[in-house]
A and B are shown apart, each in its own frame.
Chain A
Amino acid sequence: MTTTLDAPAEAPVRNAKARKRFGFHGLMMTPGMVLLALLSVIPLVTIIATSFSRVHLLGGVVFDNVGLTYWARLFGDLDLWVQWLRTIAFFVLTVGLEMVLGLGFALCLWKLVRARNLLLTLFLLPMFVAPVIVGLLGRFLTDSTFGLYTWLLGLVGYHGDILGGGTSAFLAVVAMDVWEWTPLITLVVLAGLTAVPQSIREAAALDGANGWQSFRHVLLPSISGVLLVALLIRSMDAIRYFDIISVTTNGGPADATKTVPIRLYETAFRFFDLGYAAVIGLVMLVVTILIARAFVRVLDRKGLTR
């Protein structure tokens, strides 16, 4: 066992070593894999079974096979398709705003060299706030009689009941998610920007690139990978966004904020229509897996899943 172990000439030795290593690493993975399988495969099988069954909850849990009944309902359920469109609108709006604002704040913080660390720390605070508190705080700030933001909007001439109107309620829950998660994008993009070598930027400046040109042709390409990762991370969270809407409007007023997760929750735990809820859930799962695939492909390109 010397340092020549990895030399190509000793390939057989290396193979033996690889086999041994596989064994130990496999062993280390076992507890985690077994537990994760219990926590994910069993629920997956259960939800698939549920989608074909009428479930009775009284006197234990009893599954009654009803075949494709619930799946057939999916296609005639216009409400659900509207809720999907709303989810997508919500998704595009929140993630879009978060990306633009996050990039903007990151670029500004990046320019402020000396105060950067302190300011970034302050910018990060919303990320650690429990979403349910974000929602309740949002309700407090937009309360129609004493909300601080209601009062501020009153000063500039807006007097509507923010969470009481359809469009304004939708925009309000969007704003709450944007408030909470823009900091994540700022953090990630700033990390990307600080990793851009000074020399490249200097070269661009010497070549006579103006601010916009060096942003567009030097900075943006070098942080595009980071931006993509940030985008995907927000995407998988935004599609399952539940807490804030649940505690602010709970889907209302007049369904203006009823997204698919809210609908699923209501179908399952308010109407106990568990079979149909399982169908809605499985469709959501397929969408998420597509996003997860994209995420892993990006990681792959960065060599992380080697």
Chain B
Amino acid sequence: MTSAIDRTPLRARLGVRAVVIVGLLWTLVPLVWMVASSFKTDVDVTAAEPEFLFQPTLENYRSLFTGANNLGPYIWHSVLASGISSVLAVAIGALAGYGLAGTRMRAKKHVAFWIISTRMAPIAVVVLPLFLLFRGANLIDSIPGLILAYLTFNLPFAIWLMSAFFAEVPPSVEESALVAGCTRWQAFWHVVLPLTKSGLVTTFVLCLVFSWNDYAFALVFSGPHSQTLPIAADQLVTQTGIDWGQLTAIGTIVVLPMIVAGLAVRRWLVTGLTLGAVTGE
């Protein structure tokens, strides 16, 4: 890369580096501080002068899994609710996304708009009627209730995103499968679907991140039998005084798996997060 335009003057190059370093500090300091604090003792965490060098301890993590606020059930609820909701969203979303990408019906535009508008509806607007419906149907404080609630944002997202991935598959692929004697379903299942494997994984991971990170829905719908990790983190605050050591440990536990999952699909993130409106690098 040494074409004429990339030979920028030294001063500009230093400027670029300075901006990037400031940007990195702004981005990373809170996360590094969170992880570091989770390994500190109570005294170190709440020291008036920030402690940059300290004796690391696993005490915060140990007390999260033993004693009164045992994190185990919360993790299980989070895994169940967000996992099942994401699997359902991807499975149903793949079928519908395929249909939407290929259909030639006249109302297609309106259907597409309706799908996307349910995804964009303000959370509070969805939560309120669902609360009344769930209360009538006895779904408050249940994992199935949370799964359904998460589907309200995961399903339209999955449909729209999968249809963007299906639109990338050239029609000739499917046509030649049909010519070779496949039924429509066989052509979809054995030929077209495998070509969107990266789309399926990306859709699943993003659905997982959205529902794993959800707070508003879980706040309203969950109870002792279904509370998720974000609620556990928040509850640590409302108890008398805040145990910041434990809180930063919970934070680390909530954040780490999603960072790993998110970075695993980095290549398709642009497509995913813009619902296919911008194709990735």
Interface residues of A (CB under 8 A from B): 1-2, 5, 18, 21-22, 24-33, 35-36, 39-40, 42-44, 46-47, 50, 55, 57, 60-61, 101, 104-105, 108-109, 111-113, 119, 121-133, 136-141, 143, 145-146, 148, 151, 179, 183-184, 187-188, 190-192, 194-195, 198, 201-202, 204-206, 211, 214, 225-226, 229-230, 233, 236, 239-240, 242-243, 246-247, 261, 264-265, 268-269, 274, 277-278, 281-282, 284-285, 288-289, 291-293, 295-296, 298-299, 302, 304-306
| B125 with A281: CB separation less than 8 A | yes
> Which of A61, A125, A143, A242 has a CB less than 8 Å from the CB of B123?
A242
B154 to chain A, nearest CB (A): 10
Q: Determine the distance from Cα of A284 to Cα of B125 in the docked complex, in whole angstroms.
A: 8
With a cutoff of 8 Å between Cβ atoms, the chain B residues found around residue A183 in the complex are 27
Interface residues of B (CB under 8 A from A): 1, 3-6, 8, 12-13, 16-17, 19-20, 23-24, 26-31, 33-34, 37, 45-50, 92-93, 95-100, 102-105, 108-109, 111-118, 120-133, 135-136, 148, 151-152, 155-156, 159, 164, 167, 175, 178-179, 184, 188, 209, 212-216, 219-220, 229-230, 233-234, 237, 244, 247-248, 251, 254-255, 258-259, 261-263, 266, 269-270, 273-281
A99 to chain B, nearest CB (A): 14
B21 to chain A, nearest CB (A): 10
With a cutoff of 8 Å between Cβ atoms, the chain B residues found around residue A247 in the complex are 215, 234, 237
With a cutoff of 8 Å between Cβ atoms, the chain A residues found around residue B152 in the complex are 39-40, 43
With a cutoff of 8 Å between Cβ atoms, the chain B residues found around residue A284 in the complex are 122, 124-125
> Which of A31, A121, A187 has a CB less than 8 Å from the CB of B96?
A31
> Which of A2, A21, A29, A214 has a CB less than 8 Å from the CB of B95?
A29
Residue of A nearest to B44 (CB): A146
Please report whether the interface of chain A is mostly helix, strand, loop or mixed according to DSSP.
helix
With a cutoff of 8 Å between Cβ atoms, the chain A residues found around residue B93 in the complex are 32
A153 to chain B, nearest CB (A): 12
| A122 with B27: CB separation less than 8 A | yes
| B5 with A201: CB separation less than 8 A | yes
Given contacts A47-B128, A105-B19, A128-B258, contact A261 B24 (CB under 8 A): no
| B23 with A108: CB separation less than 8 A | yes
With a cutoff of 8 Å between Cβ atoms, the chain A residues found around residue B13 in the complex are 111
A49 to chain B, nearest CB (A): 9
Q: Could you pull out 20 A-B pairs where Cβ atoms are within 8 angstroms?
A: A29-B95, A31-B96, A32-B95, A36-B156, A40-B152, A119-B24, A125-B31, A129-B31, A130-B215, A131-B213, A136-B247, A148-B33, A151-B48, A188-B273, A198-B3, A202-B5, A205-B5, A261-B123, A296-B113, A299-B275
Q: Determine the distance from Cα of A277 to Cα of B130 in the docked complex, in whole angstroms.
A: 13
